[in-house]
Amino acid sequence: MPFGLVFRKAVLWHEGEEHEFRNLQETRRDPDEFGWDFHCSIRDGFRLEAAIDGAGPSIHRLPYVKTDCRGSFEVTNNSLARAVLRLERQGRLVEILETHAGAVLEMVGR
């Protein structure tokens, strides 16, 4: 984004409902070990914690062309990343969702 602005949101489809989180707060962003952890919540008290581990054999780097076509930049991707989501909702038990090779992590920059 221009002017240094960053906009992020996470959308979780769970039990047939869409939950949109706009206030992501990073707890770890590690481009060297290729991992990303964050937490967020919405007004109804639904809280999500995510830990995504993109390290592993299927990690690859791709050059993306800039939109003005004046060069390119490198994007790191792993389509077989590991992810753990911790879901907390009022009046319900904490729920853990986990995949060992099914999340996608893509990261630009250091």
> pLDDT by residue (tens digit) across 76-85?
999 999 999 9
The residue that leads in pLDDT, 5 or 76, is 76
Average pLDDT (10-29) is: 92
Adjacent-strand bridge partners of 95: 87
Question: Where is pLDDT greater, at 56 or 104?
Answer: 104
pLDDT computed for residue 1 by the predictor: 46
Delimit the domains of the chain by residue range.
Answer: 14-108
- Cβ-based neighbours of 26, under 8 Å, separated by 6 or more: 36, 37, 38
Give me the residues paired with residue 108 across strands.
75
